[in-house]
Structure 1
Amino acid sequence: MDPIEPFSAPRVSPAQAAPETICARPTLLAESTSVPLVPAPQLSVVYRFEGLDHVDAVYQRQADGFVYARDGHPNASALAARIAALEGAEAAAVCASGMAATAAVLLSELGSGDHIAFAEQLYGKTISLIDRELRRFGIEATGFDATRPDSLVAVLRDRTRLVMVETLSNPLLRLPDLPGLATIAKNAGAKLVVDHTFAPLLCRPLDLGASYVVHSGTKLIGGHSDLTLGLVAGSQEEMDRLRGIGSTFGLSGNPFESWLACRGLATLPLRSSRSCATALDLASRLSRSSAIRAVHYPGLPNHPDHDRARTVLQGGFGAIVTIDLGNRHRADAFIRNLRQIPFAPSLGDVATTLSHPATTSHRGQDPALLDRHGITPGLIRLSIGLEDPNDLAADLEQALAAVS
């Protein structure tokens, strides 16, 4: 095949075209010998080709290029390259949401008759996807306690293909023995999938034995509550397969939100460091309040996984602090008496927010499962932002005083 020359669209002088043509056809950007400091969002859905040899070369990866945004675009490629580098992975993929990223992994690896073992501490929607929706496709699922490796051993089967856990569980922030679980999964012929949404930068799950690491880019990576994306990192072979699945099922992320996520990544280390430091400070203060039944934070010495967190996590213990006020009435009173911290059912923003897991992230889940893992109606999950710690403490303290 002859070498593909750089594509250059013909220019039409306005004087040579009718008004309808001038309005309908896109104007090419002005040429420049200088390069933009900030890469621009490439919003085009479709790309032009010189001819059939050119489109063949792009599809066959003999020439660089894009065809259709669902299959890939420059902003997703840029974001994926940075996520792969951060996670120490061969490659990464960008999906439409954190749930889309999880679904892409499951669809890539599982088929009728297969089995997945999942941590019962997972995000509620993830449990719904695994334990309800996948069953319609003949895929079996069994829950286990991610903090007890022996409980994983007990549920493994000959057809177990995946084991899925979170780095820090939602919302009680339990930290499983990732290397131990990875070894158990590998010995059973399964792959470990780690949802790393709560702990970007704090460790590398792939280095600890995971095959896939999944992020909701909507949260800490995006950092500003203005985008919805999911991210997956793993081997080149796995990501090639996953991108194909993502295109076929319509799970791909869009250009503008990929561009926003790249912007968010620029400040992620600074935001993570600040939020982790403030979270530890506030968790320590809250642990001394008589109005709170329990404070869940892996940086506190009384947390059941504190020793493991000190070894595995680097640069902090995370931006999430969860408190238990005892019952729904007290939780509601606390929320209503806060003056600055809003009830907003997400996390990872530059501003501090809170959520109520029983009515949001874990709504509709099996009451027995929630009770077994301590997800009570009195539980409040705080996502710590960049504000002054004393200002946050003052708001929390006055709300707790009102509850008391």
Structure 2
Amino acid sequence: MNSSPRRPDIATSCARPPADVELSTTPLTPPIHLSVVYKIDGLDHVDALYEGRDSGFIYARDGHPNAAQLGEKIATIEGAEAGLVCASGMAAEAAVFLALLEQGGEVALSEGLYGRTVALVGRELPRFGIKHRLFDSTRPETLRKALTPATKVIFAETLSNPLVRLADIAGLADIGRAAGVPFAIDHTFAPLLCRPLELGADFVVHSATKLIGGHSDLTLGLVATSRERMARVATVASTFGLAGNPFESWLALRGSATLPVRSARACATALTLAGHLAGDKRVGAVHYPGLPSHPDHERASRVLRGGFGTILTIDLGGREQADAFIRNAREIPFAPSLGDVATTLSHPATTSHRGQSAEQWARQGITPGLVRLSVGLEHPDDLWHQIDQALTS
């Protein structure tokens, strides 16, 4: 009888994964865990994993190491008990809405939000029997009027898109708490500038695609909240397939390491540019909370720390003037996103708020002449030179 070990066929050797490498050291930067599924010892082990008695992962839609690391990072940044990674900012919003709402429920929705958020609540959720009522996030008394016994969630943005109005987060949170209605806030425009959970919000969502990622090379969303609330949101995210993938989670972790430096630099430059533009007769209006003329400047001075944000919006009069500015600002690309290391331009009427009615535009203060600048890390003198030339051309 031949007792030598059987050598597997080459096809078997190719198909099977290599053995784990035993290390006495750990990598300085987190590795990327691309595996969709994880090996489990047996039935008792899988029971322990599903019941939370043992740590580990089973299937990437339910969680993976890179998402766990990024979730912990956003929880730390926001002062939350738990963080969750979703496939996009809209997926993060959808996960919160789907966790809190059911047929017959209502959303108290702030005016002046990102266009896709308005479309989600105003066009998609009504198909499931969900209604909404509007309020002004800068005037908490309007929220009180919007609440009904059917209201299941309050939703606002820290800094609105695109007019950068600063929500009265503490005032809204007080009203929501008194009514027993959870309050969720989109903090995409203002990571690090304040902590909405400390001001009374129950959920914070981010598009990590923007400032947290910081390089326009990933698409992810984040949720931060209590462990109790997160249990429901995470289940919904997994069931609806809203989870984020490992590689982009790893990219966002890399981006988060430089977020404080990038945010401080871009906020300082944005304030400088806003000051130049505010005194320029070629510009009809400048929207930036760091300017004394901004309607929320006093609140911004009290609430925001480390700057007034990286987004400023200018009104050039009409579509023709906006188009000329965008075309003439050749070194500042027209790229409808934000939060990149490079400064970019966007035109809300044809991008983020495209498809909305004239009435919706008027209610939100959106005009065909609005151009939004997402300020990056260039030297402010270079940016002003390019903007000045674009306004002159």
TM-score of the alignment, normalized to the shorter chain, above 0.5: yes
Aligned residues: 390
**How much does 1:339 deviate?**
2.3
Q: Paired residue for 1:37, among 12, 28, 42?
A: 28
Task: Tell me the residue number matched to 2:52.
Answer: 61
* Partner Cα distance (1:280, 1:192) in 2: 30
**Aligned amino acid, residue 324 of structure 2:** A
Task: Tell me the residue number matched to 2:14.
Answer: 23
**Aligned amino acid, residue 370 of structure 2:** L
Offset from partner CA, 1:41-64 (integer Å, 9 cap, x none): 100000011111111111111111
**How much does 1:100 deviate?**
0.2
Is the alpha carbon distance of 1:22 and 1:133 closer, same or farther for their aligned partners in structure 2, counting shifts above 3 Å?
same
Q: Paired residue for 1:287, among 270, 278, 282?
A: 278
The alignment's C-alpha RMSD in Å is: 1.2
Offset from partner CA, 1:227-276 (integer Å, 9 cap, x none): 00000000101111111100100000111100100000000000000000
**How much does 1:14 deviate?**
11
Task: Tell me the residue number matched to 1:167.
Answer: 158
SS at match of 2:294: coil
SS at match of 1:41: coil
* Partner Cα distance (1:150, 1:242) in 2: 29
**Aligned amino acid, residue 200 of structure 2:** G
**How much does 1:120 deviate?**
1.5
* Partner Cα distance (2:6, 2:191) in 1: 55
Are the counterparts in 2 of residues 292 and 325 from structure 1 also a CA contact under 8 Å?
A: yes
Gaps of 5+ in 2: none
SS at match of 1:16: coil
User: Would you say 1:366 and 2:357 are equivalent positions?
Assistant: yes
**How much does 1:159 deviate?**
1.2
Gaps of 5+ in 1: 1-12
**Identity rate, percent:** 63
TM-score by length of 2: 0.98
**How much does 1:317 deviate?**
0.2
**How much does 1:130 deviate?**
0.7
Q: Paired residue for 2:241, among 250, 259, 271?
A: 250
* Partner Cα distance (1:17, 1:284) in 2: 72
Q: Paired residue for 1:382, among 373, 385, 390?
A: 373
* Partner Cα distance (2:358, 2:110) in 1: 16
Aligned pairs (5 A) from 1:4-403: 16-402=7-393
**How much does 1:372 deviate?**
1.9
**Aligned amino acid, residue 216 of structure 2:** S
* Partner Cα distance (1:164, 1:34) in 2: 46
SS at match of 2:377: coil
* Partner Cα distance (1:315, 1:360) in 2: 29
* Partner Cα distance (2:30, 2:23) in 1: 14
* Partner Cα distance (1:239, 1:21) in 2: 42
SS at match of 1:380: strand
Deviant stretches of 4+, over 3 Å: none
**How much does 1:29 deviate?**
4.1
* Partner Cα distance (1:28, 1:199) in 2: 44
**Aligned amino acid, residue 91 of structure 2:** A
TM-score by length of 1: 0.95
Task: Tell me the residue number matched to 1:4.
Answer: none
